[in-house]
Amino acid sequence: MWNILKEFLEQYFLLGLFVGILYCFLTSTYDFWEKRGVPFRKPTILFGNFAPMLLFRKSLPEGIMEMYEWFKDDRYFGAFRVRSPVLILRDPDLVKNICVKNFACFSNRGIPVNSQDPLSAHLFNLEGKKWKSLRSKLTPAFSSGKLKRMFYLLVECGEEFQKLIDTSSETDRPFEIRELAAKFTIDVIGSCAFGIQINALTDEESEFHKAAKKFSMPSYKATLWRMLRTAMPKLYKFLGVQVIDPGVTKFFKDVVLQMINQREERGIKRHDFMDLLIELKNKGTLENESGNGQVCNDEDAEATEEIELDENSIAAQAFVFFAAGYETSSNTIAFCLHELALNAEIQEKTRRDIEDAIDSRNGKLTYDGVQDMKYLDMVIAETLRKYPPASLLSRRCEYQYQIPGSKVELPAGMRVIIPIYGLHHDPDYYPNPATFDPERFTEENKQTRHPYTYLPFGEGPRNCIGMRFALLQIKVGIISFLRKHRVEVCEKTIIPIKFSRRSLVTTSEKGFWLRIVQCP
């Protein structure tokens, strides 16, 4: 009897010891901000301050907004992701320091790249010289000249999209607008990035459509790891976690290899991004608008030696182009049309702006005509203000850094979070932030605001490289809707929108249901 009791006590003691050690490990960092005199909220064991988001009880925009309002009178405050201390900024001047002035210290996002996830080695995740080299190589691919040359591809997709909208408007039933927009963006990206006529507008069984659905609706496990990998990068690498579906990885690698072989064998030229990536692979640089090879300084040349663009690298860049352009653009189109359906006067003014620009060019949609649609610009800017695709930006401190105007020093490895959604909904910068008001983005009104309170595409050297293409794609999508139609709310319209708790991108939990009506 005594032996059984002794064995039980020993096991109980070992269990208690293990729990005690685990508790000490998980909480050993929780005095970090207190020691430095930085305001912070008491964290929860295992989750830190991010429990509502990690447990999918709140969407990322809601969680970030709630945290942003914790310390309204402070320029910054501390929080914890699991057990890792992070600094959250509220002051746009500090945001400017992190993104631009002190970029050398905050040049990396700190997102680990896994060998098991070959598509994760793309521009968004790469660091140091590899990032700098690839960024300098890819930047010319997004010049206004290159975009203008491939604009005809967007027009072709827009014309097919209009046919689908025409058909949809013939019935009186509501449509899920994001689904329609997603078909358009898949076709655009397939055409502009891969040179493939996907026909997602009519064929929902296309392989691209299937890959898009797998990517946009990842498992809860994959979503959780995407949120945790920056808080626990060593564990993420050790476990060899694969957050991108293996089927999606195989599909993209196969498609890219097939396209490279076809174009090199047949000498096909479409002036799309696949042409530019193949040119980079073969020549190492892109020709600029005058036809000369891209010139880089000695520092860039040194960085260029760090990375070669092979088939895997091309597949990774093509994948991030697809992932970033498909989901964020279709959501922005849907959010924009949702707001226009709620605001009939703004919708009519937008339609007139579109019609005037097209009519002045003999009824043709041209690149220059799109640039002249100034009110449409304002409408999209306000959509991105109210519904930024990313709720936050994250940067990793590369060496010890003293916060300007304070005695607080951040150690190397510390993460700094910029709460985009919070800044975009701060009434100090945007009065009545819940109101959809494109007039906020007149040239006069923009001059009255701190520029670093508006960050839908990030800022500084690490901003979104595809920003101009994304805006062009969004504009053509909205023009296709409003050129001959209007959108109206219906019995299935969700008001107010409830954000998805599972998505890392700002989107609706219940979809965007509207009625499409043909204009006389």
- The answer to the question of residue 14 being in a domain is no
Rounded Cα–Cα distance for residues 4 and 504 (Å): 52
The fraction of the chain above a pLDDT of 70, given in percent, is 78
Rounded Cα–Cα distance for residues 284 and 293 (Å): 9
Note the pLDDT of residue 504: 81
pTM score of the predicted model: 0.88
Sign of the alpha-carbon torsion through 501, 502, 504, 508: negative
Note the pLDDT of residue 163: 87
- 204-228 mean pLDDT: 64
Residue that wins the pLDDT comparison between 8 and 77: 77
Residue that wins the pLDDT comparison between 12 and 386: 386
Do residues 65 and 421 lie in contact, with contact meaning Cβ atoms separated by under 8 Å? yes
Region for residue 365 given its phi and psi (left: phi exceeds 0; alpha: psi -120 to 50; beta: otherwise): beta
Rounded Cα–Cα distance for residues 334 and 354 (Å): 18
Note the pLDDT of residue 315: 79
> Domain containing 472 — which CATH number?
1.10.630.10
- The answer to the question of residue 5 being in a domain is no
What is the number of residues in the chain? 520
pLDDT category of residue 241 using cuts at 50, 70 and 90: low
Mean of per-residue pLDDT scores for the chain: 82
Nearest 10 degrees: Cα torsion 42, 76, 391, 344? 120
pLDDT category of residue 30 using cuts at 50, 70 and 90: confident
Range from 63-77, 193-207, 378-392, 439-453 carrying the lowest mean pLDDT: 193-207
Do residues 207 and 248 lie in contact, with contact meaning Cβ atoms separated by under 8 Å? no
Only one residue has tokens 């296309």, namely 206
Q: What is the pLDDT of residues 416-467, one digit of tens each?
A: 999 999 999 999 999 999 999 999 999 999 999 999 999 999 999 999 888 9
- The answer to the question of residue 26 being in a domain is no
Q: Is there a binding annotation on residue 397?
A: no
Do residues 337 and 177 lie in contact, with contact meaning Cβ atoms separated by under 8 Å? yes
- The answer to the question of residue 8 being in a domain is no
Res 263 pLDDT > 60: yes
Note the pLDDT of residue 357: 94
Through-space distance between the first and last CA atoms of the chain, rounded to whole angstroms:
92
Contacts of 476 (CB under 8 A, 6+ apart): 154, 155, 157, 158, 188, 365, 370
| Distances 221 to 83, 194, 213, 263, 285 between C-alpha atoms, Å | 20, 30, 16, 38, 39
Instruction: Select from 62, 50, 102, 399 the least CA-distant residue to 230.
Output: 50
The fraction of the chain above a pLDDT of 90, given in percent, is 40
Strands 84-89 and 415-418: parallel
Rounded Cα–Cα distance for residues 515 and 490 (Å): 6
- The answer to the question of residue 185 being in a domain is yes
Res 51 pLDDT > 80: yes
Range from 53-67, 88-102, 288-302, 461-475 carrying the lowest mean pLDDT: 288-302
Q: What is the pLDDT of residues 108-147, one digit of tens each?
A: 887 767 666 677 777 887 888 888 888 887 888 788 888 8
Range from 74-88, 225-239, 289-303 carrying the lowest mean pLDDT: 289-303
Note the pLDDT of residue 189: 83
Highest mean pLDDT among 17-26, 280-289, 332-341, 403-412: 332-341
Helix/strand/coil for 270:
coil
Which domain range does residue 231 map to?
A: 31-518
Residue that wins the pLDDT comparison between 310 and 8: 310
- 306-322 mean pLDDT: 74
Give me the sheet containing 84-89, strands edge to edge. Answer: 76-81, 84-89, 415-418, 393-396
Res 314 pLDDT > 50: yes
For the chain, give percent helix, strand, coil, nearest 5. 55, 10, 35
- H/E stretch holding 416 reads strand 415-418
| Number of domains within the chain | 1
- The answer to the question of residue 233 being in a domain is yes
- The answer to the question of residue 16 being in a domain is no
- 269-290 mean pLDDT: 68
- The answer to the question of residue 418 being in a domain is yes
